[in-house]
Structure 1
Amino acid sequence: MPARENLPSTIRRSPRKAQDTYAATLDSATEQYGDGEQAHRTALSALKHSFEKVGDHWEPKERRGPSDAQAAGGVDTDRPTAGGVDANASKKHLLDVARRLDVPGRSRMTKAELVTAIGKANAAASRRSLEAERRS
């Protein structure tokens, strides 16, 4: 699988099943769409159906399915994406993820605020991991 050679760093730090899902979908999408943005978006979309981003890696979701309104609505929607956060998860689950990521003020946040805060914490964790990789 050519895609396996160029996995994004967040996926390389994820379970083998997440890597396999992304790589297989990317290979298939590349055959159909060519090696471009659409193929990568397709692979990421497939990954988000079974995994959610937590910090600098992806973890299996409690339930398979769309992770946000954009994924549920399809290609022609104008809805924002949650960036790998499972916005359809329960508030209890989101609070647990926020606790693991040490999001300040999480106990007073609404579900939508938790999704946004987790997304920001994920981005920060990914940046830190990339910087650490570059230094080593």
Structure 2
Amino acid sequence: MPAREELPSTLQRSSKKARDTWIKAHDSAVETYGEGERAHRTAFAALKHSFEKVGDHWEPKAKKGPSDAQAAKSTPKRGRTAEGVDANASKQHLYDVARRLGVEGRSTMTKEQLVDAIMKANRKSTAKAR
């Protein structure tokens, strides 16, 4: 399986189900589109329907569905994403994730600010884990 050799580090630290979801979607996308960036984007779009990025790994979402406007597209294209943060979740859920990640100032943030702060905390956590 080509996807097992290309598994992103955040998925290496995630559950077997998250890894299997990404691998299955990636392999299918490779058959359809060929190896490359499009296969990776498609695999991440599929992953984001069931999982959200929290820190340096992926966790199951409470409710399945696209995590942001980009993930909702049937054919993912380049563009701004929420980088695995479930931007469609409630503000309370985002606040709870921000609390777990130690985001300061979260109590005064809007939903959009929480998404941005979580994205920043996730990038920092992932870089530290590498």
Aligned-residue RMSD, C-alpha: 1.6
5+ residue gaps, structure 1, are 131-136
- Residue 45 to residue 76, structure 1, CA distance change in 2 (3 Å): closer
Alpha carbons of structure 1 residues 121 and 20: separation in structure 2 relative to 1, 3 Å: same
User: 2:83 corresponds to which residue?
Assistant: 83
Aligned to 2:109: 109
Instruction: Give the number of aligned pairs.
Output: 130
Rg (Cα) greater in structure: 1
AA paired with 1:119? M
> Paired residue for 1:133?
none
After TM superposition, the structure 1 = structure 2 runs for residues 26-41 of structure 1, keeping only pairs within 5 Å, are: 26-41=26-41
Query: Is residue 26 of structure 2 the alignment partner of residue 6 of structure 1?
Result: no
Is the Cα–Cα contact under 8 Å of residues 41 and 76 in structure 2 kept in the other structure?
A: no
The residue type paired with residue 55 of structure 1 is: G
Cα distance, 1:92 vs. partner? 0.6
Q: Which consecutive residues of structure 2, in runs of 5 or more, have no partner in the other structure?
A: none
SS at match of 1:53: strand
Distance 1:9 1:127 in 2: 10
User: Structure 1 vs Structure 2: percent identity of aligned residues?
Assistant: 65
Bigger share in helix: 1
Q: CA distance change for structure 1 residues 44 and 62 in 2, over 3 Å: closer, same or farther?
A: same
- What is the match of residue 61 of structure 1? 61
Task: Name the TM-score, length of structure 1 as normaliser.
Answer: 0.90
- Deviations along 1:67-100, whole A, 9 cap, x unmatched? 0122224448886311100000001100100000
CA distance in 1, matches of 2:36, 2:2: 14
Tell me which amino acid in the other structure corresponds to 2:98. A
If the length of structure 2 is used for normalisation, what is the TM-score? 0.94
Residues 28-52 of structure 1: CA distance to partner in whole angstroms, max 9, x if unpaired?
1111111110001000000000000
Aligned to 1:47: 47
User: Aligned partner of 2:53: which letter?
Assistant: K
In structure 2, do the counterparts of structure 1 residues 129 and 29 end up closer, same or farther at CA, with 3 Å as the change threshold? same
Separation in 1, partners of 2:114, 2:21: 27
